[in-house]
Amino acid sequence: MIASEKSGGNFGGASVPASRLVSSLAPPIDASLRVPLLALFGGAAFWLVVSSVLAMVASIKFHAPNFLADCPWLTYGRVQPAADDALLYGFCIPAGLGVVLWLFAQLGQAPLRGTLVPVVAAKLWHLGVLIGLAGILSGNSTGFAWLEFPRAGSVVLFFAYLLLALWAMMNFAARRERALFPSHWFLVAALFWFPWIYSTANLFLVAWPARGVVQFAINLWFTGNLLFVWLALVGIGAALYFLPKFNGRPLQGYYFALFAFGTLVLFGTWCGIPPGAPLPAWIPTLSSVAATLTVVPVLAIGVITWQTLFGTTHCEPKGGPFCFIRFGLASFVLATLMLIATACPRISRVTEFTWFGPAQTQLQLYGFFAMTMFGAIYHLLPRVVGFEFPFPKLARVHFWISLLGVVLLVFPLAIGGVEQGLKLNNPDVGFMDALKATLPFLRVSTIGLMLLLFGNLLFALNIFGLTFVWEKALVKKIFTAITAPLETEGEAGSASASLRRDKEVRT
Amino acid sequence: MKNGALIFLAAFLALGSSWCGFVLAPWLQLGGAKQTTILNSSDVYPVGRSGEASLGLQAYRANGCAACHTKQVRQDGVACDVILIDAGKNGEAVQAAAQAVNPALPGLTGSRQTILHTISKTEADTAVGKISAAGGKAEISIIAIGPDIARCWGLRGSVAEDFLYDNPVQLGSLRAGPDLADEGTRLPDINWQLVHLYAPRTLMEGSMMPPYRYLFEVRKIKIGGKPSPDALMLPPELAVAGCEIVPKPEAKELAEYLLSLRVDTPLPDAPVTPPSGSRASTGGELAGPGEDAMFARGRAVYGSLCGLCHGNDGLGKPGQAPPLAGSEWVNCKGVQRLARISLAGINGKIQVEGKDWNLSMAAMGAALSDTDLAAVLTYIRQSWGNQAGAAAAAEVQVLRAEVGVRPQPLTGNQLKSVTE
């Protein structure tokens, strides 16, 4: 039902048929996506590394406040939001959009048309991220959480997104396989979700700022919808495609998926306003109720995953991409449970304003979304480009390092946050003592960030390596095409040139 | 595709409903918000910030202060204190009534006295009724409760009105540093703020805050030239020979902004009784029976400035500020030590009543006139069972001249070397 192709998701060369190693022979659907996806994922890999480096710099400052303190561009208050935004806008969103483009083409069996536009849009998106990050680091941040990019950057991002979403939707409308898959619901909803929330937030916060604490409410609404709903829609939408594919059996529980989707958009969109916010009481109360009800879609997604993975015994799914996506789903469940916990007024009393919040966000962004995207990219990119990754073994190393990194980043911060919250709520404990109690946890989280930086370098190495291999082959192909007529005129000569070209490409 | 349209519609409606709920509705409810009237007063709140402080908000934004600091005080609820203002003619009957409502009460001191602490409104009403029946005069004081309040981070919880004139509104979401909502009351000295920005660890031992040296410039002092009036007074290990450290405009604006942050105004939706005589309290301060004007004035100053951390009962707050009641630093012969602490601030380890404290108290000299300082010293030295001599404005004037305009915070050892 889902997949025409039943091959597993191994990183090794075995999964891609040898005939497809020559790029010109890849099916037209994959070939049409090649350049847009390389543009999206290449930039994403670059910003991922940038984000890790910035996050490391920010984290080190807690142990050595004097570290790079004399450079205003690298002060903690600028580096930290820059690291967060580089991860979200630099990596998560373009990677998500790339996966959406591929999934639509794959599920609908229709090649992407007019590939120049998505390529330009991808470049434009990464330009927007560059402008935005430079804005934050030079002190021109807007001051709103997850919306720090100055106006010029946000406008570029917005139009780049519109172009990419438009092309994805056109591909969706032109699909040859007319049946809708559960992934479709999630991804189509995600495509229109972002422009709505991003334009609302930028218009009412930056262009014509609302008055007073209304800004705070809009900022929280935007953050909740982006970090929870958008990421969940894209991540879960992708996972619902890959899970049955890697597992070799159709998705179990179609109606569960429909139910999960409905409740996710219905309750998720109200999440994110902490119970103690200085807003009229009905707003945080409503948000808390909705957050508690979010347990419903989480359970439904858990049931689908369980049934698809463990419903039968005959299948033993293997392979790196599968590990990434399985880890991503587990993180999603945990991150959402953490979110639900912080919406409970009693728990929020302890965890609000502590490191528990950043721990939840990192688990959502990194443990769930980025890991799911890694899995998807490792699976789809070799097929699209027509070459195997240059260092397939490093992908497996990347998995284990990232897993360890996420665990060492998130758990110490969460535990340290609870400890910090308990100490802050006890006025007999001095404030400095409460802060110093978090330091050992922050130290461990710095190690976690270091591992993530290393893992991300491995990811970037594979992406750039693959791009390089493809470009090299392309140059060779062009070179042969130019030089070919001089050597031969007849059919036999042409055939031998083609043979030689194939040989060269393979080596 | 028949399900497709339905599913798309469902998602559209879900997002549309939350947009109406969390964007449109708050806008309609609060977007047109205007100033509120302060409780029991005709004054309005909030008033806009000064130009320099408004610019400081932009420095706060540009340097990402909100990454580590929140600006919202949380409050768990309200409770009442019953305060005896006047025992009237029939002192014994009032004492009996007071001890009937609070058996732990040692006796009447003859001046304002807290009879009952953190009780409910009904209990407080009953107690006030009993004391009035005995011929005494008592009043109820509303206090906010919660850990943030106990940490001296504000008199009450933050409410929507507090942020009316902020743009951008940056409430923060992480306390890797203290809450700043009430910074202007807690640390009202601009020199303290500037030195803290330049080198946080000199004032806060073990602070994780990065130094903001780039907000300051190092200027060579010309031979024979006068030093800049803005130059920082730094401890010797940070001073640069032949140079002075001068805050750039952003640093001064940021410090002004921090000083403008206060959460001490009682509002209809956040009732609280301000400490008597504070900026926000109503009416003039009247001397109680058996008090002179100086003492009453001292109580007013104490309530608005010192009481937040040292407590209106003078018992201090664990982890925040040492007790003043019975303290050996208060009950000494002269006011030399106590006045110097107020004028210059104090930093580091000090022993009070046999207990070790690690303090950082800002200099209050700039915030108080000689008369006010003398008054508050007199109040501290003669309240809560302290029985030391009064302080005179002339005495304070001399000490202020000795300490200098922008003094370096004292350490416990320096203080010991000062004669009593």
**Lowest-confidence range among A247-256, A279-288, A481-490?**
A481-490
> Where residue B407 sits, what CATH number does that domain have?
1.10.760.10
Domain end (from B129, B145, B161): B145
Q: What is the pLDDT of residue A443?
A: 96
Most A CBs within 10 A among B36, B175, B347, B355, hence the mutation to make, goes to: B175
Query: A497 pLDDT exceeds 60?
Result: no
Is residue A402 within 8 A of residue A408, CB to CB? The reply is: no
The residues, any chain, with a CB within 8 Å of residue B345's CB and separated by 6 or more, are: B189, B192, B360, B361, B362, B363, B364, B407, B409, B410
Residues of A in contact with B168 (CB under 8 A): 142-144, 205, 209, 215
Q: What is the residue range of A47's domain? A: 18-179
- The rounded percent of chain A whose pLDDT value lies above 90 is 74
Q: How confident is the prediction for chain A on average, in pLDDT?
A: 88
Note whether B160 contacts A: Cβ–Cβ < 8 A: yes
Per-residue pLDDT band for B297 (boundaries 50, 70, 90) equals confident
CB-CB neighbors (< 8 A) of A349 in chain B: 74
Ramachandran quadrant class, B172 (left: phi over 0; alpha: psi -120 to 50; beta: rest): left
CB of B198 within 8 Å of any CB in chain A? no
Q: What is the mean pLDDT of residues B51-64?
A: 95
Please report the pLDDT score of residue B237 as a whole number: 73
Task: Annotate B331-356 with DSSP letters as a single string.
Answer: SSSSSHHHHHHHHH-EEEEEEETTEE
Query: Is A195 in CB contact (< 8 Å) with chain B?
Result: no
Across the interface, whether the CB atoms of B210 and A69 are under 8 A apart is answered yes
DSSP secondary structure, B223-263, as one string: TTPPPPTT-----TTT--TTEEEEE-HHHHHHHHHHHT---
CA B152 to each of CA A269, A313, B1, B195: distance values in angstroms, whole numbers, following the listed order: 36, 62, 61, 22
Q: Is the dihedral of CA B18, B21, B25, B27 positive or negative?
A: negative
* Statement: residue A506 has pLDDT above 70: no
**What confidence score (pLDDT) does residue A500 get?**
54
pLDDT of residue A312: 55
3-state secondary structure at position B399: helix
Specify if A480 maps to a domain. Answer: no
Cβ A138 vs Cβ A168: under 8 Å? no
A34 within domain boundaries: yes
- CATH number where A114 lies: 1.20.120
* pLDDT reported for residue B90: 80
- Please give the residue of chain B at the shortest CA–CA distance from A80: B67
Residue B287 has pLDDT above 80, yes or no: no
Answer yes or no: do B210 and A428 touch at CB < 8 A. no
Confidence at residue A24, expressed as pLDDT on a 0 to 100 scale: 41
Nearest chain A CA: its distance from B32 CA (Å)? 7
Q: Can you give the residue range of the structural domain that contains B113?
A: 77-145
* Total number of domains in chain A: 1
| CB of A262 less than 8 A from some CB of B | yes
Among B3, B64, B162, whose Cβ lies nearest the Cβ of A80? B64
**Residue A82 covered by a domain:** yes
Mean pLDDT of B84-109: 81
% residues pLDDT > 70 (chain A): 89
Q: Which has the minimum average pLDDT: A9-13, A202-206, A334-338?
A: A9-13
- Confirm whether A133 is domain-assigned: yes
Is there a contact between B318 and A196 if contact means CB atoms under 8 Å apart? no
Query: Worst-scoring range by mean pLDDT, A30-39, A419-428, B69-78, B101-110?
Result: B101-110
Calculate how close chain A gets to B131, using CA atoms only, in Å.
33
- Mean pLDDT to the nearest integer, A112-124: 94
Asked if residue A115 belongs to a domain, the reply is yes
* B320 falls within a domain: yes
Confidence (pLDDT) at B275: 66
Domain assignment present for residue B408? The answer is: yes
Q: Is the pLDDT of residue B116 over 80?
A: yes
| Final residue belonging to a domain, choices B111, B145, B179 | B145
- Say which residue, B237 or A101, is predicted with more confidence: A101
Last residue of a domain, one of B145, B175, B202: B145
pLDDT over 70 (residue B79): yes
| pLDDT confidence band for A15 (50 / 70 / 90) | very low
**Residue A29: inside a domain:** yes
Percentage of chain B exceeding pLDDT 70: 93
Q: Does B234 touch chain A (CB under 8 A)?
A: no
Tally of domains within chain B: 2
User: Does residue A20 carry a pLDDT above 70?
Assistant: no
Rounded alpha-carbon distances, angstroms, from residue A60 to A56, A70, A265, A450, B210: 6, 15, 38, 10, 11
For residues B399 and A268, the model is more confident at A268
Of B25, B204, B211, the CB nearest to A69: B211
Q: Are B77 and B275 in contact (CB under 8 A)?
A: no
pLDDT at B286: 45
A207 and chain B: CB distance < 8 Å anywhere?
Answer: no
Under a CB-based contact definition with an 8 Å cutoff, are residues B287 and B295 in contact? yes
Half-sphere exposure in the Cβ direction for B7 (13 Å, CA): 24
How do strand B137-145 and strand B113-119 relate by DSSP bridges? unpaired
The C-alpha atoms of residue B355 and residue B322 are separated, in whole angstroms, by 9
Contact B22 A283 (CB under 8 A): yes
Q: Is B308 inside any structural domain?
A: yes
In this prediction, residue A269 carries a pLDDT of: 96
Q: pTM of the entire structure?
A: 0.87
Residue B299 lies in a domain: yes
Select from A276, A151, A267, A280 the least CA-distant residue to A214.
Answer: A280
Which chain B residues are within 8 Å of A439, Cβ to Cβ? 208
Residue A156 lies inside a defined structural domain of this protein:
yes
Q: How far apart are CA A135 and CA B409, in angstroms?
A: 38
What does pLDDT average to over chain B? 84
ipTM of this complex: 0.88
Assign A136 a pLDDT band (cuts: 50, 70, 90). very high
User: CB of A59 within 8 A of CB of A445?
Assistant: yes
Count the neighbouring beta carbons within 10 Å of the beta carbon of residue B354: 6
Cα angle A438, B323, B385 (rounded to 5 degrees) comes to 165
User: Does pLDDT of A5 surpass 50?
Assistant: no
Pick the residue with more confidence: B112 or A461?
A461
Closest CB from A209, A213, A433 relative to B160: A213
In a domain, B249, yes or no: no
Contacts of B59 (CB under 8 A, 6+ apart): B215, B250, B251, B253, B254, B257
Whether B171 maps to a domain, the answer reads no
Q: What is the pLDDT of residues B205-263, one digit of tens each?
A: 788 999 999 999 998 887 777 778 888 877 777 778 888 899 999 999 999 999 999 88
Tokens of A473: 């082959």
Domain membership of residue B108 (yes or no) is: yes
Is B32 part of any domain?
no
φ/ψ bin of B335: left (φ > 0), alpha (ψ from -120 to 50), beta (otherwise): alpha
Is the minimum CB–CB distance between B93 and chain A shorter than 8 Å?
no
Which domain CATH number covers B83?
A: 3.30.1390.10
- Taking only the tens place, the pLDDT of each residue in A361-399 is 999 999 999 999 999 999 999 999 989 999 999 999 999
- Residue A6 pLDDT > 50, yes or no? no
